[in-house]
Amino acid sequence: MVDYLVVGLGLAGITFCEVLEENRKTFKVISDDSQQASQVAGGLYNPVILKRFTMAWKAKQQLLDAKPFYQNLEKKLGVIIDNELPVLRKFASIEEQNLWFEASDRPDLDYFLSTKLHPNKNPAIDAPHCFGEVKYTGRIDTAALVRSYSSYLKNRDLLLEESLDFDAISITNETVSYKNETAKNLVFACGFGLKQDPYFGYLPLNGTKGELLVIHAPEYRENNVIKSSVFTIPMENDRYLVGATYKWKDKTNLPTEESKNELLEKLTTFLKCDFEVVDHVAGIRPTVVDRRPLVGRHPEHKNLYVLNGFGSRGVMIGPYASKQLFDYIEKESELDPEMDIQRFTKKYYSK
Ligand SMILES: Cc1cc2nc3c(=O)[nH]c(=O)nc-3n(C[C@H](O)[C@H](O)[C@H](O)COP(=O)(O)OP(=O)(O)OC[C@H]3O[C@@H](n4cnc5c(N)ncnc54)[C@H](O)[C@@H]3O)c2cc1C
């Protein structure tokens, strides 16, 4: 008997397991590779929405929680996953520069938006209107995190690598059993896999496909994240991530020629040096109709929970939402109502 069964080992599953370990709860994880979002993500943590120069939802609080969280994980797993990198937003015009300076006066944004205009010093970039810098940003290497967290669990015999067989779940008032495992609670952290879940499939998760390229560009020599019509994110050995696309119809994890062309077209509007595409990946972001996470208890089964809907900001939302869910289950704290799935209870009874 363990305290928890957790289904899914992306950012949601990992951040929840970490909260369980911190609180000395026992658990087992069941996960397959059917969803890829956490393995392909750009991994940026950036509290500012760079299209409109506004703060993302509760982003300052989330960032304050996330930084020590990932630093502790680095120590525990013995890997470097947090790369602090300034984000430089390329301005398309003088008007945009003015909007940036207006925004940098607003509460919270004043903390993150530098008021210094950065002239372009990189001959490989076309940016006549300079850049604005977002401070305290960076990248979590989410692929490395998933890899090392899986090994960490496997070495302790805490990971069942298989697709959940929903028919093998049996629920009583006090326990949830799955094959040979019995737990007090079960948490579904399945990303877009929620669509197959007979318990939480009623929740309005729509899913947004995203694709990224990896390019090799030795002449680019850029140490910052550059945000223009696409992001470029520096990696090791002259490689850069380029992304990402947003598509609402295709729900497969397969890279497409169409998205590759779209990314290349946008990239070459500002990148003026030679490069070669060396990789191309795709995944489905678990996005929700109202752009808020899906967290909470099943309307009928009190020992079934969901942790999902991290959208395009899983790195920052993960630690925040996981702690909220844990405190809700174990300490009877109130959930942030904006992410509590109670907002969709009517959908459950009308299904
Ligand atoms: C191209 C792209 C770029 C992105 N860039 C960023 C970024 O820069 N910053 C950021 O913060 N976020 C980014 N995101 C979003 C981020 O990836 C997601 O918010 C986050 O990874 C979601 O994590 P998750 O654990 O909920 O889902 P997932 O990562 O999809 O994990 C779900 C897990 O559950 C498993 N699973 C599902 N169903 C079952 C089942 N039936 N049985 C067993 N296991 C199951 C899956 O295989 C998977 O292991 C990006 C996403 C994409 C696609």
| DSSP secondary structure letter of residue 305 | E
Ligand 1 binding pocket, CB closer than 6 Å: 7-13, 30-35, 37-38, 40-44, 163-164, 189-193, 196, 210-212, 243-244, 283, 285-286, 308, 310-316
For residue 73, give the 3-state DSSP assignment: helix
Mean pLDDT of all residues in 283-288: 98
- CA-CA distances (angstroms) from residue 295 to 35, 183, 224, 318? 19, 19, 34, 11
Residue 73 has pLDDT above 80, yes or no: yes
CA 141 to chain centre: 11
Phi, psi (5° rounding) for residue 163?
-80, 135
pLDDT at 351: 72
Name the average pLDDT for the chain.
Answer: 97
Phi, psi (5° rounding) for residue 162?
-160, 165
CA of 307 to the centre of ligand 1 (A): 12
- CA-CA distances (angstroms) from residue 26 to 37, 38, 106, 228? 26, 24, 44, 45
| DSSP secondary structure letter of residue 236 | S
Residue pair 140/319 in contact (Cβ under 8 Å)? The answer is no
| Residue from 6, 9, 11 to probe ligand 1 pocket by mutation (most atoms less than 8 Å from CB) | 11
Residue 13 has pLDDT above 90, yes or no: yes
Mean pLDDT of all residues in 201-219: 97
- Total-model pTM: 0.97
The pair of three-digit structure tokens given for residue 334, joined into one six-digit string: 């109130």
Angle (deg, nearest 10), helices 59-77 and 11-22: 70
Q: List helix spans (H) across 176-293.
A: 257-267
CA of 91 to the centre of ligand 1 (A): 31
Angle (deg, nearest 10), helices 11-22 and 314-331: 40
Residue 56 has pLDDT above 80, yes or no: yes
Mean pLDDT of all residues in 102-116: 94
Q: Which position has the higher pLDDT, 52 or 306? A: 306
Burial class (CB in 10 A: 0-12, 13-18, 19+), 284: buried
Atom index in ligand 1 nearest the CA of residue 308 equals 26
Q: pLDDT of 235-262, one tens digit each?
A: 999 999 999 999 999 999 999 999 999 9
Counts for the chain of helices (H) and strands (E), in that order = 9, 21
pLDDT at 235: 95
Sign of the C-alpha dihedral computed for residues 259, 263, 264 and 265 taken in this order: positive
Mean pLDDT of all residues in 120-139: 96
Residue pair 252/36 in contact (Cβ under 8 Å)? The answer is no
- Strands in 138-140's sheet, in edge-to-edge order, are 44-45, 138-140, 82-84
Q: pLDDT of 77-107, one tens digit each?
A: 999 999 999 999 999 999 999 999 999 999 8
pLDDT at 214: 98
Mean pLDDT of all residues in 212-221: 98
CA of 192 to the centre of ligand 1 (A): 7
| Residue from 83, 146, 165, 315 to probe ligand 1 pocket by mutation (most atoms less than 8 Å from CB) | 315
